[in-house]
Copies of this chain bind each other. A is one copy, B any other.
Amino acid sequence: MQDFRALSCSLGSGILSATCMEDRIATLIAESRPGWTLARPFFSDEAIYARDLDRVWRTGWLFAGHSCEIPKTGDYFSVGVDTDSILVVRGEGGALHAFHNVCRHRGSLICEAPAGHVTRLVCPYHQWTYGLSGDLISCRGMPDSLDKSQFGLQPVALEEVEGLIFISLAAIPPPFQPAREALSPLLQPQGLRRARVAKAVDYVVKANWKLVWENNRECYHCNVNHPQYIKANFDHYNVDDTSPAIRERMELAAAQVEAKWSQRGSGAAQAGAPTTHKLTGMTSFPDAARNIWFSANRTPLVEGYVSESMDGQQVAPLMGDYDDASVGTLRMRALPNCWNHASCDHAVSTRLLPLGPQLTGIRVWWLVDEAAVEGRDYELAKLMPFWQLTSEQDWEICERQQRGVNSTAYRPGPYSTDKEYNVESFVRWYLQVIQKPHALER
């Protein structure tokens, strides 16, 4: 314990040589006790944060935003990953492109607004002009000998699946195909490509991004902290506290939804999609052993609820392929930075971005069908509270945990095997990822 303390202190004061630092991080990883929480430096230390940026945030696939946010050629939005700024642009012919928002001349940011519409990307400093796919078109004032083909905006890998846009800052990103195959069939009926953003709210949460994920990966905290959420969902019940009566309710809820679909033929059934998670507790995710960083599943809501809203009633017109409200809830999550909760009538996306060792930028979007009109078809006052309250309850929890974890007296504690199995999986996934050599070095 004393040894650990010294280690933690040294990391905290940031006065070690680079080699020494690598050794210490390796020691910290090696000393992590399976089934227990991570040590203090993982949540507060600059060097660990730098490692997280390298191995997690600048290697993996990051959820950037929704394709429906940039429907027209020339529409763009920007995404910030620590000090990096990335542009996601709708190009000619509707193709999506991503590149670094950094002029190849003097390095100025090109687009300052977080979103907008352009015909060309013109650097405001000296008007170097790039096409919508990032190629340098003109650079008045430079010698004719300059080979423009060498000065396009630096490309960023981009993939889109059913309206969700993912980017990777890695030179050689991990394969995206497994994620597409797993997510596409489940996401498809929700129709996120044909959605519109009803509202987005930005938060700056004073907690390390991993604390936010650990909070997301268990519902052990739900009973007391999420009075709204637990009224609509079953997943706060786990193997140790699911009574036969509750088990019966869950089976009934699942059966009712399925029965409805089968009555209405295969088209509707496909739109509803099967209820893939019928067990107590949260669906297992992630899977460190198989490096599964993405997943989606459908699960029933409680009796009488057709939407994750305050009273369980529909708060917007049906979305996507749905022709009946009884579709339960569709969930999707992808490490390291997003999750999505969708009902028959709306979807809520959450995106994390790293701002510092103890600071995470979080955006929450509420999406409805593209044809829905505010005031006529939905009201924000009914659409938003369920997930706004639940989200803000979680951010408060995370900030309080960060403050406790910052104490020199904090020591790793044990996870509940019944209730925190997914947190333990997350930690294992994380430790595995930060030990892998950087994508650039492969």
- Given contact pairs A54-B9, A124-B224, A107 touches B37 in the complex (Cβ within 8 A): yes
B residues in contact with A413, CB < 8 Å = 103-107, 151
With A16-B18, A18-B20 as given contacts, are A101 and B419 in contact (CB-CB < 8 Å)?
A: no
Contact of A141 among B2, B127, B220 (CB under 8 A): B220
Cβ-based interface call for A10 (8 A): yes
Query: Can you list 16 contacts pairing A with B, beta carbon distance less than 8 Å?
Result: A2-B440, A5-B440, A13-B46, A13-B50, A15-B15, A15-B21, A84-B408, A101-B407, A102-B409, A103-B404, A104-B413, A109-B404, A126-B220, A127-B224, A142-B416, A169-B409
- For the complex, give the distance between the alpha carbons of A398 and B146 in Å: 25
Residues 21-61 of A at the B interface (beta carbon under 8 Å)? 21, 37, 46-47, 50, 54, 58
Contacts of A15 in B (CB 8 A): 14-18, 21, 47
Given the complex, which residues of B lie within 8 Å of A83, measured CB to CB?
Answer: 406-408
Contact of A17 among B2, B20, B84, B110 (CB under 8 A): B20
Partner of A400, one of B84, B125, B146: B125
Question: When the two chains form their complex, are residues B141 and A416 in contact, meaning their CB atoms are under 8 A apart?
Answer: yes
Interface contact A102-B410, CB-CB below 8 Å = yes
Answer yes or no: A397 CB below 8 A from chain B CBs.
yes
A108 at the B interface (CB under 8 A): yes
Smallest CB separation, A143 vs chain B (Å): 6
State how many angstroms separate the Cβ of A390 from the closest Cβ of chain B. Answer: 15
Besides A84-B408, A105-B413, 15 other CB < 8 A contacts?
A14-B15, A15-B47, A17-B20, A83-B406, A100-B407, A101-B407, A102-B410, A103-B404, A108-B397, A109-B401, A141-B416, A141-B418, A141-B419, A151-B413, A169-B409
Instruction: Give 6 closest A-B pairs by Cβ, nearest first.
Output: A100-B409, A109-B404, A83-B406, A107-B405, A108-B401, A102-B404
Residue from B12, B106, B225 in contact with A124 in the complex, judged by beta carbons closer than 8 Å = B225
Distance between A214 CB and nearest chain B CB, rounded to angstroms: 7
In the complex, A120 has a CB within 8 A of chain B: no
The answer to the question of A411 belonging to the interface, with a C-beta cut-off of 8 Å to chain B, is: yes
- Given known pairs A220-B141, A407-B83, A407-B84, the reply for A106 and B417 (CB within 8 Å) is no
CB distance from A317 to the nearest CB of B (A): 38
The residues of B that contact A397 with a CB separation of less than 8 Å are: 108, 124-125
Determine how close the nearest CB of chain B comes to the CB of A392; give it in whole angstroms: 14
Q: Which residues of A contact B (CB under 8 A)?
A: 2, 5, 9-10, 12-18, 20-21, 37, 46-47, 50, 54, 58, 82-85, 100-110, 112, 124-127, 141-143, 146, 151, 154, 169, 214, 220-221, 224-225, 238, 240-241, 397, 400-401, 403-411, 413-414, 416-419, 440-441
Give the distance to chain B from A243, nearest Cβ to Cβ, in Å: 15
Residues of B within 8 A of A409 (CB): 84, 100, 102, 154, 169
CA distance A224 to B404 in the complex (A): 44
Give this chain's copy count: 3
Given contacts A400-B125, A403-B85, A416-B142, contact A47 B13 (CB under 8 A): yes
Determine the chain B residues whose CB is within 8 A of the CB of A126 once the complex forms. Answer: 220-221
Q: In the complex, A436→B331 CA distance in Å?
A: 57
Residue of B nearest to A143 (CB): B417
Partner of A414, one of B16, B105, B238, B405: B105
Distance between Cα atoms of A101 and B405 in the complex (Å): 10
Alpha-carbon gap, A142 to B83, bound state (A) = 41
* A9, A169, A238 interface centre (most CB from chain B within 10 Å): A9
In whole angstroms, how far apart are the Cα atoms of A107 and B2 in the complex?
A: 18
Instruction: Report B-chain residues with C-beta under 8 Å of the C-beta of A169.
Output: 409
Q: Which residue of B lies closest to A214 (CB)?
A: B106
**Separation of A378 and B435 alpha carbons in the complex (Å):** 65
A143 and B410 contact, Cβ closer than 8 Å, known pairs A13-B46, A107-B404, A109-B400 = no
Are A407 and B85 within 8 A (Cβ)?
yes
Return chain B residues, CB-CB under 8 Å to A9: 50, 54
Q: Are A408's CB and B107's CB within 8 A? A: no
B125 touches A221 (CB 8 A): yes
Task: Name the B residues within 8 Å of A50 (CB-CB).
Answer: 9, 12-13
Cα distance A141–B224 in the bound complex, in angstroms: 13
Report how far A143 CA is from B84 CA in the complex, Å: 44
